[in-house]
Structure 1
Amino acid sequence: MLFLSRCCLAGLIFVIALSTSRGADRPAKPTHILQPVMLEVQPTQPNGNPWDTGIGAFARPDPQVTMMRNDPKLLQVATDMLIDVMEQRMKDLGRPVPPRFREVFARGAMTSLRCGKSLEALQNPELTAIRGKFASDTTVASDSLLTKLVDGGMKVAVDDNILIFVNDTDLAAHDLMGQTELKITKDLLAKGEVELKFNSVDSLRLKLLPIAD
């Protein structure tokens, strides 16, 4: 009887520990919307060249802000799916898949995942849906150095780490204008707004809007 009682107690402790572990893995319930509202970028690249190859206003960038929750598990799922999509596309075109294709492409996967325009070009609903679980994009602003941002809000909670990318979207290659990481803290939520400056981004203003119960 004593042996059974000890087994039951050990089993109960294991269940409690397992439940606690699973609870720790769950993300905190979102309390706010992190919303980009205004963006100002530098008129030229760091080397002095224009962002685009047009003349006058058409030499200005077409910026888009992407926010991405720093979630390694979802990022890995999206990376694997992206590689599958690219590999299948090569096969459909009758091209041989190079040796170590998956290993090499995995190292550059973030270049595609960080920019919504890159994913749109692939036209893969499943990949778009997976990425949508941890990333969001504003509408692209055409030929603009200072723009009011539209869309692209993301639900956040305390202790979330949000990767922020600003891309100059083009027909194919998308220049990275800047990237940074924002830690969501209680003080930041209480303040309700933040202004960031990084790389070729002179100002990125974001608001933190409470989610209605």
Structure 2
Amino acid sequence: MTAPNSTNVGGLVGFVENTADAQMIYGNYLPWGLYWDYATGSVTGKLAVGGLFGQYVNPFSDYLSASFATGAVSGGDAVGGLIGIALGHIEQSYATGSVSATGVKSYAARAGGLVGYSSSTLILNSYATGDVTATISGKGSVYAGGLVGQLEAANLPLQQIDTSYASGLVNNGSGGGLIGGASGSLPPSDTVWGVWNNQN
């Protein structure tokens, strides 16, 4: 998929929003969601570019589970091996392609082996193995992470990365083996925010 001037570009679907009600039983989310989705081709776009989905917005209910992408992904900002922008739950999923963000002028270049930009996202038992590069010409923030490019701490529940890892080489910018950078206000004390049991 090649759309160098487009937003929400994905190897399978550009924009995914599941509007199912967020119902909970004894504190656990019901097992609705997207399962066994995959894409193998390379993807190029401008903003919100992912090997599987360009943007995945579903912060309080369904999961993306047992899914993967293997192609190289490149774009301007919010570029991820699996998902460009994620506001939702991801489990038992992976990406193996290289990821490159060259920046959106005067704004940012965020690249992650699994997710480019993440907010209110639960990532469980997932991994990325591709090399990650982020650069920008002129002013703008640069984040490159082996798993997540930028993790924003928003006042939303269930922001957590657990039992996940990244093994690719991270180049340039505010680089991190697992997370390129974290920003925003910390959630209230009754929410979950953390990074546990991870390798890089």
TM superposition score normalised by structure 2: 0.24
Of Structure 1 and Structure 2, the greater strand share is in 2
More helix by share: 1
TM-score of the superposed pair, with normalisation by structure 1: 0.23
Larger-gyration structure (1/2): 1
> Quick one: higher RCO (CA 8 Å, sep 6+), 1 or 2?
1
